[in-house]
Amino acid sequence: MSFSGPLARPLQALSWLGNQGTRAIVGVLLAAIVVPPLGDLARPYVTEAIFLLLCISFMRVDVAMLRAHLRRPLLVLAATAWTTIAVPALVGTIARVTGVDDAAPDLYLALMLQATASPMMASPALAALMGLDATLVLITLVTSTALVPLTAPLFAYVFLGQTLSLSPAALGLKLAGILAAALAVATVIRIAWGIETIRRHRAPIDGFNILILFVFASAIMAHFLADLIASPLRLVALAGLAFAMFFALLGTTMLLFRRAGRERAMALGMMVSLRNMGLMLAATEGAIPALTWLYFAMSQFPIHLAPQLLRPLAERLRGKAGQSGEAARGLISPASE
């Protein structure tokens, strides 16, 4: 797409950045790590960054695809119940049975915030990039996100108690407010400019999305190098736990939904394993312990490496070469949190 006028160069730069796709996602993570001073500048703006990412994601939702999947709701309902109710219940129960809640309360808080979070807004686009059923992921994402303001306070009350600085009711209100405001802004943008205009400007919007993601990644990775030097074994252990959680959720979901077809099961598994921890950070306004921040930082590695990690498996399940990134056009940007 060609641009003209005073904004031509910035839009061309954003388009170039947006066209880098999953490479840009990995680049964002690496840049956030190697320039730690930016993290201290970005940390006060985590809530605003997450809000903008949500606005862009809601702005690009294809309503027609949502309606199509609503005509066959059983699989969507089962997947929604699994990711919003069963996952946090299982994680909380296992953590209590194994004594993690008493032995490492800050890590327990991190695991529960991760488990109660909704799936990432980027999940449908990542599914499309790998040739999986993006529409199924999209509708399940929407239903799960809509329930989080109700389910997150419930599980916070049952499993966290006084561990969380916010009360369960305040957490629910915060989540509902953030999601409702993002949806309202996205709706205004869609009405003002139209969905076709939004689709035509996919590349610069993707580029802008990546810049916002850099703000979030910089904030959460701000102390990574310092922590790595100070406690390398602790970081390796936390990274191992983050990858273990990622693959445990992926594998368990694929096993549970295997009768829906291997491709659909993997699409749902990817969605469930990629949790929107940024939303929980925004709801808590970053008022969480240092170890919780550190686990969230380590969780960015499986999140940002997901397309590269899962593509070979997706291609093997499909029995043919993976589809190109064009499959994701018109969906949510792969850089969305």
Q: Domain boundaries in the chain? A: 20-328
What is the rounded distance in angstroms from the CA atom of residue 66 to the CA atom of residue 239?
Answer: 35
Are 105 and 163 spatial neighbours (Cβ–Cβ below 8 Å)?
yes
**pLDDT for the residue 167:** 65
Using 50, 70 and 90 to split pLDDT, how confident is the model at 325? Answer: very low
Mean pLDDT of the chain: 78
**pLDDT for the residue 197:** 85
**pLDDT for the residue 188:** 92
Per-residue pLDDT tens over the stretch 200-228? 888 888 888 788 878 877 777 777 787 78
What is the rounded distance in angstroms from the CA atom of residue 300 to the CA atom of residue 2?
Answer: 34
* Average pLDDT of span 150-161: 83
* Average pLDDT of span 159-181: 73
**pLDDT for the residue 162:** 62
Per-residue pLDDT tens over the stretch 234-254? 888 999 999 999 999 999 999
Who wins on pLDDT, 65 or 49?
49
Angle at 124 between CA 176 and CA 315, to 5 degrees: 150
Buried b (16+ CB within 10 A) or exposed e, 10-46: ebbebbebbebbbebbbebbeebbeeeebbeebbebb
Residue 2: pLDDT over 60: no
Report which listed range, 83-92, 120-129, 171-180, is most confident.
83-92
Top-level class of domain 20-328: mainly alpha
**pLDDT for the residue 54:** 77
What is the rounded distance in angstroms from the CA atom of residue 161 to the CA atom of residue 178?
Answer: 23
Are 307 and 334 spatial neighbours (Cβ–Cβ below 8 Å)?
yes
**pLDDT for the residue 327:** 41
